[in-house]
Structure 1
Amino acid sequence: MGELFDIVDEHDRVIGQAPRSRCHGDPSLIHRVAHVLVFNSEGRLLLQKRSAGKDIQPGKWDTSVGGHLEPGEDYLTAARREMREELGISGVPLTFLYRSKIRNAIESENVATFMARYDGPIDFAPEEISEVRFWSGEEIDRHLGSGMFTPNFEEEWAMFRSWCRKYPAGPNSGPAFCAGDSFPDIVQTEDLLTKNEAD
């Protein structure tokens, strides 16, 4: 049968299970996903390039970390596990940002997004990822709509930019990350939002 996912309703309550192969192709089967946005101390965002063998959006740049929850798993546990499995990063505090929903012709996902700050080595899984690198906010904005990014990442970036406007960092506070239960001055958003907004 292959990998199983918990199936949830629109309120994120588990109502059953289904194999991965059915979930990717049947938008009526809502399943859960955890994302992590990994920033370095300069405020640049790590993106991963999906391997050519991926069944969805192969060869495109995507969110730092993204993975499905295992049956019975919670979002934070999944985020930590996926960060370790995909990038070899562990023991780094995660800050919860927001929940969102992805709905398209291929799949339906309920997503919880977290943030982490990390400047150490990255040991990515080559069967999942072909390349990783850090991008500035301006560089990301310049390539939106070019086909380089997954549609899901472009949605994620728009949500994160909106979140930054809602919770701006102080002008002289510098980067600061917390252990996952609140978000005081998490990053200096001027490093993440394109200067085009001021034009």
Structure 2
Amino acid sequence: MDELIDIVTDNGLKTGETVLKSVAHRDGIFHQTVHIWFYTKNHQILLQQRGKDKNTFPLLFDVSVAGHIHAGEAVEVAALREIEEEIGLLVSKKDLKKIGVFKSIQNHHSELIDAEFHHTFIAELKAPLQELIKQESEVEDLQLTSLIKFSEETWGMANSKKYVPHSATYYKTVIKAIKKEL
């Protein structure tokens, strides 16, 4: 779905201009997204397997929930909206803990360049996995995996054919933040 998003500078500051998401991706224009990583008290992390029809990284495992921030939309509002859309879960702002903003540029091909700032949160998953309702158009599967296994597979990208290739710094920050909460 194409939507209007805010343009940001290469330092993440809003310019006051908007653009269609498709144009931002085509032209490599910086914009904002939200990433929400869910964890459980028994040291598991919720992974989303990306839909098979996604333009980027189909069927790879990624952040629990992610999406674009609409033009003029508050970051936390976008996070809550994406959580409800992608996994059918209602949470409140107080459940989200922001752990950072990460600049990411992925050159997929000449007409698809993701130039994004990921506003990244962690949140405790309090609902059982079987109660989550995945958004069929976006999500192939949802699964819980141990934080230890996830750490081993992502820190050095030992299993790079399984996960979306975020930077090692990004994955380490997520894992450390979750460990701190446990």
Which TM-score tier does this pair reach, normalised by the shorter chain? 0.7 to 0.9
For 2:88 and 2:37, locate their aligned partners in 1 and report how far apart those are by CA, in whole Å: 15
Superposition RMSD on alpha carbons, in Å?
Answer: 2.1
Q: Is the 8 A contact 1:63 1:153 kept in 2?
A: no
For 2:148 and 2:174, locate their aligned partners in 1 and report how far apart those are by CA, in whole Å: 14
1:68 Cα deviation after fit = 0.4
Report SS of the residue matched to 1:47.
Answer: strand
Unmatched tracts of structure 2, length 5 or more:
108-112
Q: Is the 8 A contact 1:62 1:153 kept in 2?
A: no
For 2:2 and 2:118, locate their aligned partners in 1 and report how far apart those are by CA, in whole Å: 22
For 1:129 and 1:99, locate their aligned partners in 2 and report how far apart those are by CA, in whole Å: 23
Counterpart of 1:60 in structure 2 is: 60
Which of 140, 144, 163 is the matching residue for 1:149?
Answer: 163
Read off the aligned partner of 1:104 and give its amino acid letter: Q
For 2:177 and 2:152, locate their aligned partners in 1 and report how far apart those are by CA, in whole Å: 20
For 2:39 and 2:141, locate their aligned partners in 1 and report how far apart those are by CA, in whole Å: 16
1:105-184 alignment to 2 at 5 Å?
105=107, 106-120=113-127, 121-144=131-154, 145=157, 146=159, 147-152=161-166, 156-163=170-177, 169=180
**Judging changes above 3 Å, is the alpha-carbon distance between structure 1 residues 139 and 162 closer, same or farther for their aligned structure 2 residues?**
closer
For 1:57 and 1:133, locate their aligned partners in 2 and report how far apart those are by CA, in whole Å: 17
Q: Is the 8 A contact 1:36 1:79 kept in 2?
A: yes
Read off the aligned partner of 1:103 and give its amino acid letter: I
Structure number having the greater strand percentage: 2
1:48 Cα deviation after fit = 0.3
For 1:155 and 1:115, locate their aligned partners in 2 and report how far apart those are by CA, in whole Å: 16
Unmatched tracts of structure 1, length 5 or more:
170-185, 188-199
Q: Is the 8 A contact 2:31 2:117 kept in 1?
A: yes
TM-score w.r.t. the length of structure 1 is 0.76
Read off the aligned partner of 1:128 and give its amino acid letter: E
Which of 87, 91, 98 is the matching residue for 1:96?
Answer: 98
Counterpart of 2:69 in structure 1 is: 69
Read off the aligned partner of 1:6 and give its amino acid letter: D
Report SS of the residue matched to 2:79.
Answer: helix
The number of residues matched between the two structures is: 167
**Judging changes above 3 Å, is the alpha-carbon distance between structure 1 residues 35 and 2 closer, same or farther for their aligned structure 2 residues?**
closer
For 1:83 and 1:72, locate their aligned partners in 2 and report how far apart those are by CA, in whole Å: 18
Read off the aligned partner of 1:91 and give its amino acid letter: V
Q: Is the 8 A contact 2:147 2:175 kept in 1?
A: no
Q: Is the 8 A contact 1:50 1:58 kept in 2?
A: yes
Q: Percent identity?
A: 25
Report SS of the residue matched to 2:34.
Answer: strand
Report SS of the residue matched to 1:21.
Answer: helix
Report SS of the residue matched to 1:139.
Answer: helix
For 1:25 and 1:12, locate their aligned partners in 2 and report how far apart those are by CA, in whole Å: 19
TM-score w.r.t. the length of structure 2 is 0.82
